[in-house]
Amino acid sequence: MPRSSPFKGGLIVAFEGITDRTTADSWRDRTLLLPESEVEPPGENELFIADLVGMRVVHVNGDAIGDVIEVFELPQGLMMDVRRPSGTSVLLPFNDQTVVEVDSATRTIRVDPLEGMLD
């Protein structure tokens, strides 16, 4: 049975069949995946990062910016690659300073980017 315990801002995770450090090191920095049917659905006011792809991005002033085509998980946080109507794209941070509202019902993200971010 897998088990975990907190350690230095992260977790130490133990799995059946991994009994020594050498074997455990071969699994370091791996991503564990689950079938979607086994993943707990997001709670209220939550969504999966993958659900951002395809959402329409609109400036708080009402101007259409474009559609999210990809989301990058960077050390600085999430970045949305937004394809503009012209075919070019712009990277916008998915953070509290930029994102004002995410409406999953209308699949719209309202943003208030810093001046120059859209240039």
pLDDT digits (tens, 9 = 90+) for 29-54: 888 788 989 989 998 889 999 999 99
Count how many residues are written for the chain: 119
Residue 79's pLDDT is 97
pLDDT band at 12 (very low <50, low <70, confident <90, very high): confident
- What ranges do the domains of the chain cover? 3-38, 49-111
Interval 57-77: pLDDT, tens: 999 999 999 999 999 999 999
pLDDT band at 84 (very low <50, low <70, confident <90, very high): very high
Distant-in-sequence, close-in-space partners of 69: CB < 8 Å, separation ≥ 6 = 53, 81, 82, 83, 89
Pairwise CA distance, residues 71 & 111, whole Å: 15
CATH class for domain 49-111?
A: mainly beta
Residue 2's pLDDT is 67
